[in-house]
Structure 1
Amino acid sequence: MARRATRAWATRRRIETLSTEHDGTVLCVRIGGLLLTGGESRRLGFAKHEVRVHGERLADRSARVLAHACDPVREVGPGVTDLVAVREDPPGSGPLAALHAGADALRIDGHDGPVILLAVDLPFVDERLLGWLAAHPASGSVVPRVAGAAQSVCARFAPSALMTASELVAAGVRSMHALLDEIEITYVDEADWGVACDARAFTDIDTPQDLAALEQQRRQ
């Protein structure tokens, strides 16, 4: 029984982070997760979520690592994982619309806390990086940067940012850059996220050349 209780506590710690209120009270905040699977794959030639890493589809791998760090978790896309799926409107309209749709679904289900947004085409993202993002002490959104470029589809968004995303989508905006321009963000560079991963973690798969490079790295 003690072992079971310890395991349950450890699981809770993976999906909660600490928040300090103005009066000094320390609260546990649950981190939701949104997996984006609805992006177009024109240059790759087939659905990115079907790419296999060590025999496992990216869709299944991404859902697994996200669920390790977050709860509740939803897929935003056509329903290619075992996660509960919702769709952005219209389908394929980009990550901002997907963030809005996913956050709205989580809110309806009772989660009004921060969320980690993860694109399905990041084969080197793992539990350690997502756990680090979930536990980051910043009160607002946390967005990694690689060589100065914001990695907005592997990032943590605060509740206020999710509301801003909804407002932008309602106004017809579709750009994630527009969201980043509007919200409070703690940008984290390699000196910060380097404790959890290397820059390869943010490498995505967009083209056959990217896929060939992935295969080559796996053989090394």
Structure 2
Amino acid sequence: MAAAPGASPGGASPGGGAPFDAVLLAGGRARRFGADKPAAPLGGRALIEWAAAAVSGASRLIVVGPPRGVLPGAVVVREDPPGAGPVPALRAGLAEVRAPRLALLAADMPFLRPAHVALLLDAMGERPGAVLVDGEGREQWLAGCWRTPELRAALDAYAGASLRGLLGPLGPVAIAPPREPRPAWYDCDTPEDLAAAERLL
């Protein structure tokens, strides 16, 4: 299968560990945004392109959402039914994961970089996962890295609809990235958030 654009040879992780795949959740209804949020332009690129660049070292890039034509190397799948929420979207994306680890990201985080993903991958150690926390210490469940077998087992046993309910019990290590003018955890939930991101760029 085609690797993600800019993928490392052989799919090695940025930190030199086991390979990883990437799952970008890019569906949903985006009620607060009022448009196709992942396709929204920012700094000359679509939001989803910024997210994909953060996982350029992935062996396999899996996008859960409608085809948009901006990531030709990606595997595109849909949750059933479309817009059903993050847990069904993760289920659809995880079915395409082949690597022993994966990065799970939202498609609206323009300031996440490969160094942040490498930090998460390295921090996992023997734990099931690592998750980014924001400036107030809150877990960002759509900015994390996970061991594929543990995540599959948890998803198989989970009947709920909350990512926190699914991922929290796995006990991931919480990672606070260095404080930067452009926070790694920043997401664009509204047009105002997007405008603020444009100013930060």
* TM-score when normalising by structure 2: 0.82
Measured against aligned partners, the alpha-carbon deviations of 1:157-211 in whole angstroms (never above 9, x if no partner) come to: 222023202321xx3x11011113321311223xxx328x667111111112212
Tell me, yes or no, if the aligned pair for 1:116 and 1:156 is still in contact at 8 Å: yes
Q: Find the counterpart in structure 1 of residue 156 from structure 2.
A: 166
Distance 1:135 1:88, change over 3 A: same
Distance 1:200 1:178, change over 3 A: same
Give how far 1:135 is off: 2.9
Instruction: Name the % identity.
Output: 28
Q: Find the counterpart in structure 1 of residue 193 from structure 2.
A: 210
Q: Find the counterpart in structure 1 of residue 3 from structure 2.
A: none
Q: Does 1:45 align with 2:29?
A: no
Q: Find the counterpart in structure 1 of residue 174 from structure 2.
A: 187
- Paired residue type of 1:78: P
Residue ranges of structure 1 left out of the alignment (5+ in a row): 1-9, 19-27
Counterparts in 2 of 1:109-120, with a 5 A limit?
A: 111-120=98-107
Distance 1:34 1:141, change over 3 A: same
- Relative to total residues, which structure has the larger helix share, 1 or 2? 1
Give how far 1:128 is off: 1.6
Counterparts in 2 of 1:67-216, with a 5 A limit?
A: 68-80=56-68, 81-82=71-72, 83-106=74-97, 111-139=98-126, 140-146=128-134, 147-159=136-148, 160-168=150-158, 171=159, 173-189=160-176, 193-194=177-178, 200-216=183-199
Tell me, yes or no, if the aligned pair for 1:16 and 1:29 is still in contact at 8 Å: no
Distance 1:34 1:205, change over 3 A: same
Q: 13, 16, 32: which is aligned to 1:15?
A: 13
Pairs aligned (count): 188
SS at match of 1:34: strand
Give how far 1:125 is off: 1.0
Give how far 1:112 is off: 4.8
* TM-score when normalising by structure 1: 0.76
Tell me, yes or no, if the aligned pair for 1:32 and 1:115 is still in contact at 8 Å: yes
Distance 1:88 1:198, change over 3 A: farther
Q: Which is higher, the Rg of structure 1 or of structure 2? A: 1
Give how far 1:72 is off: 1.6
